[in-house]
Structure 1
Amino acid sequence: MRFQYDTIGERYAECTATAAFSAADTHTLHGALDALGGVRGLDALDLACGYGYNTRLLARGGARRTVGVDPCGERIARARAHEATKGRQDIEYHVAEAVGVAGLGPFDLATAAYPFNHATDRVSLHAVLRSVRTSLRPGGRLLAIVPNAGAFPRVDWSPYGVRILDRVPQGEAPLLKAHFLTDPPEPFEFREWSHADLAEAAVAAGFTTVGWQPNRTPPPDPVRDEVYWTAYRAWPISSLMTCTA
């Protein structure tokens, strides 16, 4: 599944930049970074960096070293091209799986948007968290946006940019089939690991603390008013997983 977004190209960048769920994820990550006192002077890693949006956020925040990692060469090429147009040379991008990041460190901070839900089995899930933990210095932090389990079929996320189509019992975690609601819609899949599964893997990897924070939403505006965001907060697509090495 690691190359499932390759054919989406620019429309994947479009959907994650404009969809409401992505706006909420970004707002949540901003708040968590602020709560840590920012990133100035830190060595920062961005897992599943895609086109580099969160990676650039870390660099602009004053990180001493900023590294973006993604398994898709096309996304990394686009991220590098973006930096070249801006004349930036302060971000490193690497084509790599999350299980291969340990050799790139050490880091003080790792951010991650939805990488763990692509682990197909428990062994793979534990290996990814172990690699992230190994890449962090003692006391380093992991801030990860992860999907919330159990909403489908009770909740329709279509107004927020994602539609879940089916849950297929398969292996150690159900496989969810979904669409990004671009025009036309683009299919993707992910595993429905529970928060308990993720916490178990983090503890086994050596993280000393594991916590959860609810998804935060941006201030209302004429397009997405408070009623809209109130409904989203009742059943958000994701939560923030926070871990300390």
Structure 2
Amino acid sequence: MTDAADGRAAHPAHDDLQYDRIGGDYELAKLLPLTRFVERPSVLGLLADVRGRSVLDLACGTGVYSRHARRLGARRVLGVDISPKMVEVARATEEREALGVEYAVGDATELPRLGDFDVLLAAYLFNYADSAGTMELMARACARNLREGGQLRALVAHPDFDFGRSLPQRYGFSFRQAADPEHDGRIRVTAHTRPPVSFTAYLPSRRVYEEAFTGAGLRDCSWGPVQLSPDGVLEFGPEYWDDFAANPPWVLFRCVKGAGDGRG
């Protein structure tokens, strides 16, 4: 699989090359409480039934969940990310521990048809849509790469997150609104690793998501809560998670392409 997924040089339509600066340091964020006990079980829940199926992991980063999909029995996994540095790290991991995962550099706003995938996983991808038009491009790219009845499964920043009740730093992340006259939904996310890792994202509304994906030919768009692992409750106690439960920063978003019941 060539870079840009079709042999062309990838070029970002938004500031995702910020991840070239972060590189492998981003993996440190996977050790923080929110990622260990909320993000991870939530994404693994999205992958629970992928055995024997093909999975396209868009915005795969260093390939953490691409590798999980393969371990869970997916017959084919392709991870695509706009950051050459992130893909370089993912490929290096594949060389050390060969699982049969493919990787490519590509921009989700102009991704060509790479195949008819059963499941398209997108963890945080849509929070790099800086406008409704960008979201529409991403939605069309997703539709292009799903078979009829194939499912889009996404973890996204919660459109209704209350920045006036910012989460305590003990969870490992900070979320704040960034002043930007052109993009009133721009946010700054900091993972409190050592050293801290910060990046810019956006907070599209539910309407922007639903209009973009239904317009691209997907149906049954739905929202669902993320999962808090019982291990997190055991390790920290139930009261520790009260602020998270009252104002979760993430939510799950799902759609199905075209006709059929989506179960394949």
Q: What's the TM-score once normalised by structure 2's chain length?
A: 0.85
Selected match of 1:54 from 65, 68, 87: 65
**Aligned counterparts, 1:1-245, within 5 A:** 1-15=15-29, 17-23=30-36, 24-34=38-48, 38-88=49-99, 90-149=100-159, 150-171=161-182, 173-219=184-230, 220=232, 223-245=235-257
Structure 1 residue 92: Cα displacement:
0.8
Structure 1 residue 169: Cα displacement:
4.8
Structure 1 residue 208: Cα displacement:
1.4
Distance 1:156 1:195, change over 3 A: same
Distance in 2, Cα, partners of 1:157 & 1:243:
32
Structure 1 residue 51: Cα displacement:
0.8
Structure 1 residue 87: Cα displacement:
3.2
Deviation readout 1:156-177 (Å, 9 max, x if unpaired)? 2522222124332533542112
Bigger Cα displacement from structure 2, 184-193 vs 108-117: 184-193
Distance in 2, Cα, partners of 1:157 & 1:224:
14
Distance 1:178 1:41, change over 3 A: closer
Is the CA contact 1:157–1:237 (under 8 Å) kept in the aligned structure 2?
A: no
Is the CA contact 1:146–1:238 (under 8 Å) kept in the aligned structure 2?
A: yes
Q: Structure 2 regions of 5+ residues with no counterpart?
A: 1-14, 258-264
| Aligned-partner residue type, residue 89 of structure 2 | R
* Identity rate, percent: 31
Distance in 1, Cα, partners of 2:240 & 2:123:
23
Deviation readout 1:119-159 (Å, 9 max, x if unpaired)? 12211111101110111001000110000134112222522
Distance 1:100 1:224, change over 3 A: farther
Q: What's the TM-score once normalised by structure 1's chain length?
A: 0.91
Partner of residue 5, structure 2: none
Q: Secondary structure, in 3 states, of the residue corresponding to 2:79?
A: strand
| Aligned-partner residue type, residue 251 of structure 2 | S
Distance 1:93 1:158, change over 3 A: same
Q: Secondary structure, in 3 states, of the residue corresponding to 1:137?
A: strand
Distance in 1, Cα, partners of 2:55 & 2:237:
34
Distance in 2, Cα, partners of 1:189 & 1:204:
27
Superposed structure 1 runs of 4+ greater than 4 Å apart: none
Distance 1:102 1:173, change over 3 A: farther
Distance in 1, Cα, partners of 2:184 & 2:97:
42
Bigger Cα displacement from structure 2, 164-173 vs 175-184: 164-173
Distance 1:48 1:157, change over 3 A: farther
Q: Secondary structure, in 3 states, of the residue corresponding to 2:90?
A: helix
Deviation readout 1:42-91 (Å, 9 max, x if unpaired)? 11100110111110111111112110000111111111111111133x11
